[in-house]
Amino acid sequence: MPEDAVLVTGASSGIGLETALCLAQNGYRVFASMRNLDRRIALDAEAARRGVKVEILKLDNTIPETINETLEVIRGRAGGLYGLVNNAGSIIRGYFEDVSESEARQVFEANVFGTMAVTRAVLPLMREAGRGRIVLITSIGGRLGSPGNAVYCASKFALEGFGESLNQEVGSFGINVSLVEPGVVRTELFGRNRNTAAGALEPSSPYAKWFQNLEVLTDREVQAAVTSAGQVAGAVLRALKAPTPRLRYVVGRRASLLLRLRRYLPGETFDRIWTRELTRRISSIS
């Protein structure tokens, strides 16, 4: 029986890179895609170190031509596609009023419409095979809002609704959809790929001091993060292998605790506590 083929988007670093390698180590035929093939060096090196093979392809989920070309290559090489891991995306940091419409649209193009475009393109292959797994990498930010992340959280909330609805639509074709929801993970989204709204850097912004404090707090949380990209990759593996996969996989103890608290605290109690705590922590930065 041939290896099950899986496409992982956004595989040049972080969660995407680790997921591609994890799946390859567990017997999947992995097609790892990225927007810029000049950034394949880290994936190539780590694949060689671990003694696994990944096939690297160019795919920008905001450019339909690259999606179609990539899937044609996969169809030609593997004959079909069992799994899709939608990991590619972007972030914009800044209080909402400081984020321009064009900056917000870029995030939604990559996180929401790009994810939808790749998913729409793979569904015929999966329906033809009568089976398939689609995994969306969302975030705890798709379940809980936070200051300085209004646009990013809005895009992840959108993915949550998309994934939940899609799972209801395609189940009769033997296709399952899962949402993997990590807490804070130390990846390049908080380093080289950190994207800050131009307005958030303006000293005249009414949110300038708040945002400066928030960035300090964020850096501390990232440095202290105990949830790893490998743990997220493990959740993806479970979603692909489980006979009956769950709709949601929360990754990280803190994320799990926060979501449990929200589930069990009455009414708006959690939201008041959560907002008060965030405000306290941001304002306490000296």
Residues annotated as part of the active site: 152
d(CA 13, CA 226): 18
CB 95 within 8 A of CB 210: yes
d(CA 158, CA 144): 12
* H-helix segments, the chain: 14-25, 41-50, 64-78, 101-108, 114-129, 150-170, 208-224, 229-241, 253-264, 269-283
Closest by Cα among 217, 220, 205 to 95: 205
CB 80 within 8 A of CB 129: yes
d(CA 49, CA 13): 16
All residues at 6 or more sequence positions from 255 whose CB lies less than 8 Å from its CB, including other chains = 140, 181, 182, 183, 227
Closest by Cα among 231, 229, 250, 241 to 82: 241
Distance of CA 280 to the CA centre of its chain: 28
Residue 45: burial class (beta carbons within 10 Å; 0-12, 13-18, 19+):
exposed
Tell me if residue 234 falls in helix, strand or coil. helix
What is the DSSP code (8-state) at residue 143? T
